[in-house]
């Protein structure tokens, strides 16, 4: 894997997502997944919400009809420019855009009732630091709700999967395990109250790589890693060939809600 220190990773993320902002607006707006998160948060109708790593703003706009105001923050300016399109599509007007680094949010302490993040944390250079920042700007009694990809608990297995993910998408950092999420929440003063984990095989390796514009040489390396996955890895990750001879691996997602003590 390449240099994974914070600055190069963040620059890679900005470059990667900036080039694909329009595509992410078109492909990452799964309404069922968005509404699941709104239901988990159970807003009353008057809350001020912060969505961190908002991308084109799908989750921010999903919350907008149910709350008083939403601030949609992202470090990639080209992503923020896509938000007005999503606002028009969802017919909402109470979303404000802010350019912000998830590890250094430009907000005062306890400013928001609900803080969310969806499909972004695997790209944050400092995962515990980002969780601390989300907790810092959340009011006491408020909630921090994150949905993201999840890695296996075994460190070697997690590193193997992260290598696959990085070859696909050079902005990838790490798919954090359940215990890493739980520890980060607790360290930030968040009491975890709801966790949902889902897993499933990728329906198409080619589509998965097409969405990221994975170069041909990296595709071959991904196929090689899956084809030659060691047996020790398979104790932790469902990976290999299926009954029809197609290469696959299984991905997991986590939704975790914590309340600030």
Domain residue ranges in the chain: 6-151+172-199+252-260
Is the domain spanning 6-151+172-199+252-260 CATH 3.40.50.150? The answer is yes
Q: Is the dihedral of CA 57, 48, 98, 121 positive or negative?
A: negative
CB 59 within 8 A of CB 116: yes
**What does the pLDDT read at residue 1?**
32
pLDDT value of residue 211: 82
- pLDDT, residue 4, reads 41
Q: What is the pLDDT of residue 31?
A: 85
At residue 217, the pLDDT reads 97
- Helical segments of the chain, H only: 6-19, 21-27, 31-41, 58-63, 77-80, 83-90, 127-136, 155-168, 178-187, 205-210, 216-227, 231-234
What integer pLDDT is reported at residue 190 of this predicted model?
98
- Below-50 pLDDT ranges, the chain: 1-5, 18
């Amino acid at each position: 894997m390449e240099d994974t220190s914070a600055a190069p990773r963040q620059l890679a993320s900005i470059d990667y997502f900036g080039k694909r902002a329009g595509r992410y607006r078109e492909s990452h707006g799964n309404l069922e997944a968005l509404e699941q998160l709104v239901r988990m948060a159970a807003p009353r109708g008057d809350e001020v919400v912060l969505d961190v790593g908002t991308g084109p703003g799908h989750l921010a706009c999903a919350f907008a009809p149910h709350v008083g105001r939403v601030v949609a923050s992202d470090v990639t300016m080209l992503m923020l420019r896509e938000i007005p399109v999503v606002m028009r599509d969802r017919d909402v007007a109470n979303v404000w855009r802010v350019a912000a680094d998830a590890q250094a949010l430009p907000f005062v302490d306890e400013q928001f009732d609900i803080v969310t993040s969806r499909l972004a944390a695997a790209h944050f250079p400092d995962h515990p630091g980002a969780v601390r920042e989300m907790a810092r700007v959340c009011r006491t009694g408020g909630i921090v709700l994150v949905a993201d990809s999840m890695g296996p608990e075994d460190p070697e297995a997690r590193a193997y999967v992260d290598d696959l993910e990085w070859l696909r998408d050079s902005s990838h950092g790490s798919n954090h395990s359940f215990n890493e999420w739980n520890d980060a929440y607790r360290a930030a003063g968040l009491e975890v109250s709801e966790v949902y984990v889902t897993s499933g095989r990728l329906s198409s390796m080619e589509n998965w790589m097409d969405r990221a514009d994975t170069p041909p040489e990296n595709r071959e390396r991904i196929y090689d890693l899956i084809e030659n996955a060691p047996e020790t890895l398979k104790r932790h990750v469902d990976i290999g060939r299926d009954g029809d001879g197609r290469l696959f691996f299984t991905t997991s997602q986590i939704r975790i809600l914590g309340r600030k003590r």
